[in-house]
Amino acid sequence: MIQRLSRYFYQRSTGIRVLLSFLLMMLFNILIFPAMQGRMGTFVNPLDMRFGFSAEEALAFLNLLGAEGRSVYLFVESVVDIIYPFVYTLFSVLALSFFFGHRIAENSRWRTMNILLPLLTMLADFVENGGIILMLVGFPDAVATHIGWTVIGNELKWVGAVLSLGGVFVGFVWWLVQWFGTRRTQA
């Protein structure tokens, strides 16, 4: 199934699809998340924007938000941040497929990384979101109960995101070098 899904995206990934998915991802990063953070009443980085956090840090942040801020954060985690992982995963899959489609041999085991790495990152993000939601719903007692696995999901998400975006960056640079090289030889 993974190989079939991988092939599907290699066949259908185009520059315009990568660009459109990037713009959709930027809509969340530039407009939606900052607006939601402002509604929380603080511009301190929320838990899911940190690489790891302790129970004390989580309690301090959730206390800082107050009841109204926690309510907004719960909305963000249970609605907005359930949609966003699909958005950045789509971008990562399309970009990795577009930039590496002709560079990785069809029979290579690395060929499915266009799907595996972004999907595992999204799964880790859902684990993190679930933990934060449970901490918000059961605040303050639930923080100690759910902190361990929430932080594991958080750290795995960030490692996966860095690897995925690093791959996209390398692929983009490789594509640019090849594109400029082709343009230069045609001139």
pLDDT in tens, 149-166: 999 999 999 999 999 999
Looking at residue 187, its pLDDT comes to: 63
How much is the mean pLDDT over the chain?
A: 94
105, two tokens: 């041999």
Average pLDDT (80-84) is 97
Say which amino acid occupies 151.
V
Asked if pLDDT for residue 73 goes beyond 80, the answer is yes
Q: Cβ–Cβ contacts within 10 Å for residue 53, how many?
A: 21
With a cut of 80, say whether residue 183 has pLDDT above it. no
Do 6 and 114 contact (CB within 8 A), yes or no?
yes
Q: What is the pLDDT of residues 100-147, one digit of tens each?
A: 998 888 888 889 999 999 999 999 999 999 999 999 999 999 999 999
Distance CA 131, CA 147 (A): 7
**Mean pLDDT for the stretch of residues 36-41:** 91
- DSSP-derived letter for residue 172 is H
Tell me which long-range contacts 103-109 makes (C-beta under 8 A, separation of at least 24): 103/171, 103/174
Q: What percent of the chain has pLDDT over 70?
A: 99
By residue count, the chain amounts to 187
How many Cα atoms within 13 Å fall on the side-chain side of residue 36? 21
| Residue 35 clears pLDDT 80, i.e. is over it | yes
Q: What's the gap between Cα 59 and its chain centre?
A: 24
